[in-house]
Amino acid sequence: MRSNISSRGFVPQIFKGVTIALLITLVSVLIFAFILSAFDLTDKVIMPINQIIKTVSILVGVILSVREGKFSLKGGL
């Protein structure tokens, strides 16, 4: 059982996906904050854009994390 979850494959791939998703989220929110400071946008625009940023970041992180092997197990984490 221990050999399936080795430090050489499974855990680093998940960590890489989470790290990339976090970086994408931070950069995207920062860019969106600069856009908000330049333009007067309403709350009706801010909330959907925020959700889109988070969804895309999670999707990219999951895709990068599960590129190889056990898709359902890693994707669920």
What pLDDT does 6 receive?
Answer: 52
Do the domain assignments include residue 15?
Answer: yes
Count of CB atoms within 10 A of residue 11's CB? Answer: 13
> Which residues does 17 contact at the CB level (< 8 Å), separation at least 6?
61, 62, 63, 64, 65, 66, 74
In a domain, 35, yes or no: yes
Answer yes or no: is 38 within a domain. Answer: yes
Largest CA distance in the chain: 55
Query: Domain for residue 4, yes or no?
Result: no
2 part of a folded domain: no
Which conformational region is residue 42 in: left (phi greater than 0), alpha (psi within -120 to 50 degrees), or beta? beta
Give the tens place of pLDDT for each residue, 9-35.
777 878 888 898 999 999 999 999 999
Structural domain of residue 68, as residue ranges?
10-76
Which residue has tokens 């970086």?
23
| Number of structural domains the chain divides into | 1
Residue at 52 is within a domain: yes
Is 13 or 5 the better-scoring residue by pLDDT? 13
**What is the tens place of the pLDDT at every residue in 34-60?**
998 898 888 888 899 999 999 999 888
Given a cut of 70, whether residue 69 has pLDDT beyond it is: no
